[in-house]
């Protein structure tokens, strides 16, 4: 069977994760198989509302059949106020299997498309009082977890430029918190006085790993020393005769900076009575392998086991869950691929 013919016969819907800086799309069969993948670097920040449909068609146009509408389920920043069309935030606490209820349909000219933009989550009153927070995109990955375990409870961490920690209680998101950790690391490593001392770390190297985990524990034990520890990296580069030279030196210092930043994030979650992680509690990480490994190493240093769920698998499961909700609630007006 040719690829084109298989696509025409098997395409059931299209999954899209459309973020600030790029979009990823998947041609999906009804059984969950991925028939094709597409990608564009035209994210929300690069687009005006009237440019979304053209951009989408550039990526998925070849997948579409000549006749009949295909449902396209989109999560992420395309549904932000400054995106294609706003899908208003759903407030926590909320169940994740009903994200589809908040979906909106932007106007489309191409008769082969029916697009649903899924909402993000907002928190207007957090467990600490007035902890406003928002997410767009990550909630769909969380929904992917719940898709396979509708009564899931526990802490889920989605590392990234802005890492998210969600607390699930029996399938309900009870609260969540965003940390600026990744952006903080990037700004400090690339744009501060520390840039002269930074290289690429490699956490498979035992010395880098030790520098990283030591820094994680230091931030956990003394988060108030974070700003002092930052300049200490520069001073150590100038004065510490025990450091190796060259790339090995810059790798160790980068590992230490990464550990300090991730450790500061974890300091707010670990060992704080009455909130956060219980001693020894396991954490589920959703994200790319390298970043999740880094977080798993940090969590392990503080006595927390972690298991990883692949981000692509999670987002596809989450979009699939929303599709089933829309199918059920809206079947009279939906055209499936014939």
Which parts of 15-54 interact with its own copies (CB under 8 A)? none
Q: At what angle do helices 226-239 and 206-221 cross, to 10 degrees?
A: 140
Among 235, 278, 282, 305, binds its own copies (CB under 8 A): 235
Among 88, 222, 278, 289, binds its own copies (CB under 8 A): 222
Label residue 310 exposed, middle or buried (CB < 10 Å: 0-12, 13-18, 19+): middle
Q: Does 283 bind its own copies (CB under 8 A)?
A: no
Q: Which stretch binds its own copies (CB under 8 A): 111-119, 138-146, 166-174, 218-226?
A: 218-226
Neighbour count for residue 86 (Cβ, 10 Å): 15
In angstroms, give the least distance from the CB of 23 to its own copies. Answer: 19
Among 239, 279, 290, 332, binds its own copies (CB under 8 A): 239
DSSP letters spanning 205-240: SHHHHHHHHHHHHHHHH-GGGHHHHHHHHHHHHHH-
Pattern of binders to its own copies over 253-272, x per CB under 8 A?
--------x--xx-xx---x
In angstroms, give the least distance from the CB of 133 to its own copies. Answer: 5
In whole angstroms, give the CA distance from residue 191 to residue 47.
Answer: 27
Q: Does 192 bind its own copies (CB under 8 A)?
A: yes
In angstroms, give the least distance from the CB of 132 to its own copies. Answer: 4
Pairing assessment for the beta strands 23-29 and 11-18 based on DSSP bridges:
antiparallel
Among 19, 65, 199, 232, binds its own copies (CB under 8 A): 232
Which parts of 165-184 interact with its own copies (CB under 8 A)? 177-181, 183-184
Q: Does 223 bind its own copies (CB under 8 A)?
A: yes
Q: Does 210 bind its own copies (CB under 8 A)?
A: no
Contacts of 330 (CB under 8 A, 6+ apart): none
Q: What is the largest CA-CA distance in the chain?
A: 73
For its own copies (CB under 8 A), the number of binding residues is: 44
Identify whether 93 is preceded by a cis peptide bond (ω within 30 of 0). yes
In whole angstroms, give the CA distance from residue 249 to residue 255.
Answer: 10
If the CB atoms of residues 114 and 250 are measured against its own copies, the closer one turns out to be 250
Contacts of 311 (CB under 8 A, 6+ apart): 141, 158, 286, 287, 288
Q: Does 333 bind its own copies (CB under 8 A)?
A: no
If the CB atoms of residues 62 and 275 are measured against its own copies, the closer one turns out to be 275
If the CB atoms of residues 111 and 242 are measured against its own copies, the closer one turns out to be 242
Alpha-carbon torsion angle 245, 247, 253, 257, nearest 10: 170
Contacts of 49 (CB under 8 A, 6+ apart): 83, 84, 85, 106
Q: Does 127 bind its own copies (CB under 8 A)?
A: no
Q: Does 227 bind its own copies (CB under 8 A)?
A: yes
Judged by the rule CB under 8 A, the positions of this chain that interact with its own copies are: 122-124, 128, 130-134, 162, 177-181, 183-184, 187-188, 191-193, 222-228, 230-232, 234-236, 238-240, 261, 264-265, 267-268, 272
């Amino acid at each position: 069977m040719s690829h084109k013919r298989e696509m025409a016969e098997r395409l059931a819907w299209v999954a899209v994760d459309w973020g600030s800086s790029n979009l990823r799309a998947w041609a999906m069969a009804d059984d969950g198989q991925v028939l094709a993948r597409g990608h564009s670097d035209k994210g929300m920040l690069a687009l005006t509302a009237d440019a979304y449909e053209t951009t989408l068609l550039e990526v998925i146009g070849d997948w579409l059949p000549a006749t009949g509408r295909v449902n396209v389920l989109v999560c992420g920043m395309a549904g932000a106020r400054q995106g294609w069309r706003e899908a208003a935030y759903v407030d926590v606490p909320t169940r994740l299997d009903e994200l589809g209820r908040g979906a909106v349909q932007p106007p489309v000219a191409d008769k082969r498309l029916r697009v649903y933009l899924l909402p993000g989550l907002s928190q207007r009153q957090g467990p600490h009082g007035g902890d406003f927070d928002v997410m767009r995109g990550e909630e769909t990955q969380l929904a992917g977890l719940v898709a396979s375990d509708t009564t899931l409870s526990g802490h889920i961490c989605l590392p990234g430029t802005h890492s998210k920690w969600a607390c699930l209680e029996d399938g309900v998101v009870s609260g969540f918190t965003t940390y600026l950790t990744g952006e903080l690391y990037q700004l400090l490593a690339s744009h501060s006085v520390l840039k002269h001392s930074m290289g690429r770390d490699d956490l498979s190297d035992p010395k880098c790993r030790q520098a990283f985990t030591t820094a994680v524990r230091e931030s956990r034990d003394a988060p108030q020393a974070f700003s002092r520890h930052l300049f200490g990296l520069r001073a150590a580069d100038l004065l510490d005769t025990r450091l190796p030279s060259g790339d090995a030196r810059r790798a160790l210092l980068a590992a230490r900076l990464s550990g300090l930043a991730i450790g500061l994030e974890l300091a707010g979650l670990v060992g704080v009575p009455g909130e956060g992680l219980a001693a020894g509690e396991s954490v589920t990480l959703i994200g790319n392998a390298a970043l999740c490994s880094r977080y798993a190493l940090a969590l392990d240093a503080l006595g927390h086991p972690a298991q990883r769920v692949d981000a692509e698998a999670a987002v596809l499961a989450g979009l699939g869950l929303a599709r089933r909700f829309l199918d059920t609630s809206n079947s009279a007006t939906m055209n499936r691929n014939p």
